[in-house]
Amino acid sequence: MDETPKSRKFGLLKFPFALREEVIRNMEFMDAFHFSTLSKRSKRLVHNAKLRTHSITFCLNTFVANDKIIVETIKDGKCVMISLADPRESFKRKNPDVIDGRKLANLINEPSDDYKKKLSAHLLFIFHFKETKLHIEKAVSNVHFERNYTEPLTDFFSVGCQKNVRFCINRLGFTAFHFI
């Protein structure tokens, strides 16, 4: 007699509400991110727990291979770096501390073709950042540009995330930032 094994539910979901929130608040950033990708309910739990994060910075470089997201946490002051570059790029820096953004985006069960939009929307929804920054690094003249900065950045951010960006940092300093 072969019985099919029952799918076991994650034990945290059975705990009382206050205990669940406390457990999620004590998670590391990446643990909370992975937990938020398990189901819609777990995504809502992480969002409601209001995990303490300080800032998120979207770094867009002249060369697409250097694009990344930097998240700074309040609890331990650590920075998590997520690469947005294609892992097949030959000139990508080999840094063991940088997390592959494509792998993280594949964990998110959301309908989107662009992994950058999917990842940025998920991060901005589940975590409550005190600061949301966009850092655009433009190169000097006589350098080949892979990205045309005159195009609107709606190709990178979904419409719901655009209102979260407060200001932009570039080589000239801080500027107010508004999407077109």
Question: What's the average model confidence in pLDDT over 153-179?
Answer: 48
Residue 65 is predicted with a pLDDT of 67
Residue 135 is predicted with a pLDDT of 76
Strand order in the sheet with 173-176: 98-100, 79-83, 68-73, 52-60, 128-136, 167-170, 173-176
pLDDT higher than threshold 60 for residue 12:
yes
- Dump pLDDT digits (tens) for 52-104: 788 888 887 766 667 788 888 877 778 888 888 776 654 445 677 788 888 89
Cα(163)–Cα(161) distance, rounded to whole angstroms? 6
Cα(149)–Cα(82) distance, rounded to whole angstroms? 22
* Lowest pLDDT segment from 22-26, 59-63, 165-169: 165-169
Residue 64 is predicted with a pLDDT of 63
Higher pLDDT, 173 or 67: 67
Pinpoint the alpha helices (H) of the chain. Answer: 17-25, 29-36, 40-49, 101-107, 115-126
- Dump pLDDT digits (tens) for 113-151: 888 888 888 998 898 888 888 777 655 444 444 444 434
Question: What's the average model confidence in pLDDT over 18-32?
Answer: 88
pLDDT higher than threshold 80 for residue 157:
no
Tokens 């997201």 belong to: 69
C-alpha torsion sign, points 20, 21, 26, 30: positive
Residue 150 is predicted with a pLDDT of 38
Tokens of 34: 């992975």
